[in-house]
Amino acid sequence: MNASVSDYRRQEESITISAVGEQFPDGSHDELLTLNFGPHHPATHGVLRLLVNLQGEVVRSIKPIVGYVHTGIEKTAEDKSYWKVIPVVERMDYLSYYFNAMAFCGAVETLVEVEVPKRAQYLRIIHLELNRIASHLIWLGTSALDLGAVSIFLYCLREREQVLDLFEMSSGQRMHTRYFQVGGVIEDIPKGFEEKVRAFTKIMPGRADEYGAILNANEIVLQRLRGTCPLDAQTLLSLGVSGPLLRAAGNPWDLRKADPYSSYEDFNFKIPVGTVGDNYDRFAVRLAEIYESVKIIDQAIDGLPEGPFITSDRKVALPPRHELATSMEALIHHFKLVTEGFRVPPGEVYYAIESPRGELGCFVRSDGSSKPARVHMRDPSFVNLQALSKMAEGSYIADMIATLAMLDPILGGIDR
């Protein structure tokens, strides 16, 4: 072999078989088979690579290898002014784009000490909860696809199209909408948005009932999910897991209730909590969260206050266009904001919100200029993935697939 081939490549290309140690009466050993669940696999929810050590059909250990969609987003974000970072950062956890933007905007708003008007907070909540529903729908669709229930995938996409229509109505884009800006939202909602949201919230609980009815009556789904791969809350906490996985194990920790941000304390909603912590509880908790999100959206639309949709601090937010014709200061502010961007006083802050997968934290370090010095997202999938090997050890391969589906990893967030 050439000396230029590194040790890593050599190890990658070798095949090792190790003895487990369990000796049979005739002197032979049981062998561990290392199976490579390559980055291209229909069941791995993205480009996740797993090295699975199998003894027969039983999983003995799992080693996840990530980095196949690493995009250097955090490095790119250091190169751009703050409002340009928002579309870049949105593409990390690509199913919950509003949450990425919310975490980043929240962190910058804390640094700049700008206040977000009430209407903007309610609009943010509407979009965040719609995004939560959309994310859970794709999770449900792809998980059911993994378990074999193919038609649920099409049903969920039908509902998700309606949610994406709403996003298109308010911001012009279906995904990665860059709707949240530092200080509020970029635009007010158009006429007709409220009616469409109400129409959607009217039908969504019925549709979620349908999904529950189909899956809960399906013997195969129940057998695959009930009692498989449970993990207790204490181990999950030591692994840093949060979100629906932790709630399924019985710990009702939810940042929307514990440490409310963006006016979540105004709303009346419950936190679904599981009991056993197996795959079925994880599934049931996420399905129940859809109903709670619908409730929040209803309350937010009913109580939507009048007012500005972005802060009136002209140093941070663009002035409304009609002012540019009359006011010189508005023109100067606009020019400064668009060319250089606003400056943020030096400091570091960590801002955490509750994304559909757990605690999504954004760390922003500012050195006083108009570009951030460090942006880091504490992505929940990255931390939750460490729980996979603990969960699936000792179970069958099929249970491991179901667990991976219930874990809801998003590789964009893991790899950033």
Q: How far apart are CA 68 and CA 52, in angstroms?
A: 18
The residue (of 46 and 230) whose beta carbon lies closer to other proteins is: 46
**Secondary structure element (H or E) that encloses residue 216, with its range:** helix 193-216
Shortest distance, position 24 Cβ to other proteins, whole Å: 30
CB of 33 to other proteins, least distance (A): 15
| Burial category of 113 from C-beta neighbours within 10 Å (exposed 0-12, middle 13-18, buried 19 and up) | exposed
In terms of CB distance, is 101 or 138 closer to other proteins? Answer: 138
Among the listed residues 294, 255, 246, the one whose alpha carbon sits nearest the alpha carbon of residue 274: 246
* 139, 408 Cβ separation under 8 angstroms: yes
Question: Which among 379, 408, 386 is positioned nearest to 248, based on CA atoms?
Answer: 408
Nearest residue (CB) to other proteins, 197 versus 233:
233
Is the Cβ of residue 79 or residue 232 nearer to other proteins in the bound state?
79
Compute the least distance from the CB of residue 40 to other proteins, in Å: 6
Q: Which amino acid is at 220?
A: I
**Cβ closest to other proteins, residue 93 vs residue 330:** 93
Residue among 197 and 375 whose Cβ is closer to other proteins: 375
Residue 389: CB minimum distance to other proteins, A: 10
CB of 378 to other proteins, least distance (A): 4
- Quote the least distance from Cβ 63 to other proteins, whole Å: 9
Q: 5 or 222, CB closer to other proteins?
A: 5
Please identify, using beta-carbon distances, which residue of 69 and 214 lies nearer to other proteins: 69
Q: Token pair for residue 368?
A: 């006083």
Of 291, 249, 257, 296, nearest to 273 by C-alpha is: 249
Beta carbon of residue 247, minimum distance to other proteins (angstroms, whole number): 13
Q: What is the 3-state secondary structure (H, E, C) of 235-251?
A: HHHHCCCCCHHHHHCCC
Query: Cα–Cα distances in Å, from 142 out to 68, 160, 237?
Result: 20, 13, 27
Interatomic CA distance for residues 416 and 402, integer angstroms: 24
Nearer to other proteins, 212 or 347 (CB): 347
Min dist CB 387 to other proteins, Å, is: 9
Least spacing, CB of residue 163 vs other proteins, in Å: 11
Question: Counting Cβ atoms within 10 Å, is residue 212 exposed (0-12), middle (13-18) or buried (19+)?
Answer: middle
DSSP three-state, residue 145: helix
**CB atoms closer than 10 angstroms to residue 150:** 10
Q: Do 363 and 107 contact (CB within 8 A), yes or no?
A: yes
- The closest alpha carbon to 248, from 270, 265, 271, 214, belongs to 271
Residues in the chain: 416
State the minimum distance, in angstroms, from the CB of residue 69 to other proteins: 5
Residue placing its CB nearer to other proteins in the complex, 163 or 330: 163
Nearest in space to 199 (alpha carbons), one of 298, 63, 309: 298
